[in-house]
Homo-oligomer: A and B are copies of this chain.
Amino acid sequence: MKVVPLTKITIITENLLRDRIVALIRKHGATGYTATKVEGEGSRGVRASDWEGRNDRIETLVSAEVAEAIIEDLNDNYFEDFAVIAWLSEVNVLRGTKFIS
């Protein structure tokens, strides 16, 4: 099987930030992404807006280094003031080398 281990970053963001988040991931080397409309809902214990309303789910496949850069940038510039959730998964990507910029 011609698979390459890569990091998948999933970002849930309010619609307003979508273009900025896409620009951010590209700046660090993501070669593309998919976006899906999702609904979220929060509750006590987490800032409500983090999950709430109509959001975009952005996913991209990147190397571990690019993932680290994206996460640092999100952490430094978006997590204090905006409703953004992000997580990393380890996946095996078919023809994965084309996602490494």
A residues in contact (CB < 8 Å) with B = 1-3, 6, 8, 10, 12, 22, 26, 31-48, 50-52, 55, 57, 61, 68, 71-72, 74-75, 79, 85-96, 98-99, 101
Q: Collect the chain B residues with CB atoms within 8 Å of residue A45's CB.
A: 31, 98, 101
Q: Collect the chain B residues with CB atoms within 8 Å of residue A2's CB.
A: 75
A41, B22: Cβ atoms closer than 8 Å? yes
Docked complex Cα distance between A94 and B71 (Å)? 7
A33, B26: Cβ atoms closer than 8 Å? no
Q: Collect the chain B residues with CB atoms within 8 Å of residue A39's CB.
A: 34-36
**A37 → chain B closest CB, angstroms:** 8
**A22 → chain B closest CB, angstroms:** 7
Docked complex Cα distance between A42 and B101 (Å)? 12
Query: Which of these, B6, B36, B61, contacts A36 with CB under 8 Å?
Result: B36
